[in-house]
Structure 1
Amino acid sequence: MSQQHVLFLRKGLTAICWVMFICLVCGQVHPAAVSKKKVLCVSVTKGFRHSSIPLGEELIKDLGTDSGEWDVDYVRTDEEMAQKMTASALKQYDAVIFNNTSGDLPLPDPQGFIDWVKAGGNVVGIHAATDTFRERPDSPGWAEYRKMMGAQFIGHGPQSEVELLVQDRKHPATKDLPPSFKVTEEIYLFKDWSRDDIRVLIALDKHPNTGEPGDFPISWVHQYGKGRVFYTALGHREDLMRTENYEKHLRGGIRWALGLAKGDASPLPPPSPVTNKEKKQGFRPLFNARDLAGWHVRTEGRTPWTVQNGMLVMGKGGSDLITDEKFGDFILRYDYMIPKGGNSGVYLRGRYEIQILDDFETKQPDIHGNGSVYGLIAPSQFASRPAGEWQSVEAKLVGKNLTVVLNGIKIIDNQPLPGPTAGALDDKVDEPGPIMLQGDHGPVAYRNIRIKPLK
């Protein structure tokens, strides 16, 4: 080839590149047009049929059209499922979206579908997708589907307003959401799930209806073989689905499932109970946020304490929980949450109870109220927060003198302790003793329990 031909080709290629660049800038050619993804939206139901299904179909289509990143095909009938969800037919799709499906779907080749996912097919589940193939009195459902989806729906209470807590601020499905936000929705409850198996993106830290503390997942991702699985329990109420936050959430989840956005699917580590600053100050964790190592119960055979997303959680009918280690002088810090009408307490050296009580509506400090040394010392001022909110305590015990800071407000200032409170482990006031969490008065959760021994 002559030099003139080479020069001509170079000039031609350069011109083509410039034309493509200008087209992209002007919006005439979308960058995803060359490799547009294909999504199969499944809306067949054999159980409850949600009225939000058509809106879900519309939203999935519009999100793909607006971004130019995917086209949508539909399965709305048993006949379409038989045609479009065979092992060979699935090869033309990059993802299958279960749009509020329910019951035992008539998949033509269940194992072929699972094999497709494990080989790299991707799945998105919306709301009742976890009510699909679930165990029922008249059917065992399909365990492998439930494993693929990441959890099994077990029920829900009345629709309620809840505060959603974003657990992963970097994932495409949640990175554009606020750290927490309130929604009114039908909140699903699940079983057969573990944070060791899925990466929870959004969760609640209390029951959506009772307010009892606990870990309740709302949205998650995980890897199933080579396939990506994204699920969101949101999608019952149409007004919620029309919000900007929901569109951002669903768009990001679909983009991640299609491989159009990067995001980690590995399980999140439990939160650290001690900050780096506190470590330098000499604090160390009393509760490792993973298990009950270093603790034992006061009375065996009662409702056990559980560890849920870095929280020590007690329901009803439990026992006090005691550290194996004993302490003399120290600074103790901890957070706690109780539901409406809740009652608990933290015993310093196992003898002096700092009361935990839902007394927010009283607006008055009391010798038996929240933050008091139960029955002995009343707080100098009222500092309680409403039930259902996290509250923080710092207690400094030197000899028999106690200082307590509740929610950033000093309520007991270097006061002498006249003696043990009711429920104490013993009356050996001159000896070191453990930290004890009261667990026999009702639901409570603790987190970020850390201590700094003083010399």
Structure 2
Amino acid sequence: MKKIVTLLGDFYHPHDQLVDYFQGIVKKFPQELEMTDLTIDQLRKALQEQPDIFLLSKENRLAPETDQAVWLDETYDQLITEYVANGGSLIAHHSGLSNYPIHSTFHDMLGGRFIHHPKPTEVVYRDQKGLSYKIWDEHYFTEVDQAKTEVRLHSYSQSGESIAAWRHQYGKGSVFCITPAHFSEGLQHEATEKLLLEGIDWCLKLM
């Protein structure tokens, strides 16, 4: 039984909806995966037990509507990066790329970050084989160090072009970053789910 732990939800991305979504993804995976959703306080103990995958879909800001408090301090920065370097796998999904400090080991490990997104619009996602699909989404514009990672997906809208998914090894572990999607229709699109399942499979096979 492979184990995946998750840290999900923030002000703009409801926790319970994400739990239901990722539980559905886990059930579609051909191997047996046991998913455990965590609070921030539970993260230290969980990662010290070296689960197979840590899936993060939560931005760094705790209460962006009222203040600028964040959860990723130096302790969590070290905890997560050491977990991956020692052979764990991190999947940073959508808001899991948002508002994390540039001057951190966590940022260096991700190899990229979310910069901004315009108002929701039609976004075309195209993979390395030229296969594409279109959904209504927040078009995440990212900054990615392409020399240190493998780009898996590009995104296009009336606002421009960006990188939407990338992956690489970090120490003995692996990192997979994916920006789609924000809305339920996009999350449940067959191509989005396929990309996420392929990312999980890639992480597990690298272990």
For the aligned pair, the TM-score class normalised by the smaller chain equals 0.7 to 0.9
By how many angstroms is 1:245 displaced?
Answer: 1.5
The one-letter code of the counterpart of 1:39 is I
By how many angstroms is 1:84 displaced?
Answer: 2.7
State the alpha-carbon separation in 2 of the partners of residues 44 and 58 from structure 1.
11
Rg (Cα) greater in structure = 1
8 Å contact kept, 1:158–1:209? no
The one-letter code of the counterpart of 2:168 is H
User: Which position in structure 2 is the counterpart of 1:161?
Assistant: 122
Q: 1:190 aligns with which of 142, 152, 162?
A: 142
State the alpha-carbon separation in 1 of the partners of residues 79 and 149 from structure 2.
23
Q: 1:49 aligns with which of 6, 12, 17?
A: 12
Matched, 1:78 2:70: no
State the alpha-carbon separation in 2 of the partners of residues 259 and 78 from structure 1.
27
Q: 1:110 aligns with which of 77, 99, 115?
A: 77
8 Å contact kept, 1:65–1:71? no
State the alpha-carbon separation in 1 of the partners of residues 16 and 22 from structure 2.
10
User: Which position in structure 2 is the counterpart of 1:60?
Assistant: 22
By how many angstroms is 1:44 displaced?
Answer: 5.5
By how many angstroms is 1:113 displaced?
Answer: 2.4
8 Å contact kept, 2:8–2:18? no
Q: TM-score, normalised by structure 1?
A: 0.40
The one-letter code of the counterpart of 1:49 is Y
8 Å contact kept, 2:9–2:16? no
8 Å contact kept, 1:166–1:203? yes
User: Which position in structure 2 is the counterpart of 1:147?
Assistant: 108
8 Å contact kept, 1:78–1:106? no
Q: 1:235 to 1:102 in 2, by over 3 A?
A: farther
By how many angstroms is 1:109 displaced?
Answer: 4.4
By how many angstroms is 1:256 displaced?
Answer: 1.1
Identity %: 23
What are the superposed Cα offsets for residues 256-313 of structure 1, whole Å, 9 maximum, x if unpaired? 112279xxxxxxxxxxxxxxxxxxxxxxxxxxxxxxxxxxxxxxxxxxxxxxxxxxxx
State the alpha-carbon separation in 2 of the partners of residues 55 and 44 from structure 1.
8
State the alpha-carbon separation in 1 of the partners of residues 182 and 72 from structure 2.
23
Q: 2:152 aligns with which of 194, 201, 208?
A: 201
SS in 1 for 2:205: coil
Q: 2:131 aligns with which of 179, 190, 193?
A: 179
The one-letter code of the counterpart of 1:151 is G
State the alpha-carbon separation in 2 of the partners of residues 113 and 101 from structure 1.
15
Q: 1:82 to 1:229 in 2, by over 3 A?
A: closer
Q: 1:94 aligns with which of 52, 72, 78?
A: 52
The one of the two structures with greater contact order (alpha-carbon pairs below 8 A, sep at least 6) is: 2
SS in 1 for 2:194: helix
State the alpha-carbon separation in 2 of the partners of residues 97 and 55 from structure 1.
15
Q: 2:185 aligns with which of 235, 239, 244?
A: 239
Q: 1:78 to 1:122 in 2, by over 3 A?
A: closer
By how many angstroms is 1:132 displaced?
Answer: 4.4
Q: 1:210 aligns with which of 159, 163, 171?
A: 159
SS in 2 for 1:196: helix
State the alpha-carbon separation in 2 of the partners of residues 83 and 218 from structure 1.
31
8 Å contact kept, 1:42–1:98? yes
State the alpha-carbon separation in 2 of the partners of residues 68 and 62 from structure 1.
14
Cα RMSD (Å) of the superposition?
Answer: 2.4
Number of aligned residues: 197
Q: Where does structure 1 lack aligned partners over 5 or more consecutive residues?
A: 1-35, 136-141, 170-177, 262-455
Matches within 5 A, 1:364-403: none
User: Which position in structure 2 is the counterpart of 1:10?
Assistant: none
Larger helix share, 1 or 2: 2
SS in 1 for 2:201: helix
Q: TM-score, normalised by structure 2?
A: 0.83
What are the superposed Cα offsets for residues 32-61 of structure 1, whole Å, 9 maximum, x if unpaired? xxxx2100111164xx4313x433322322
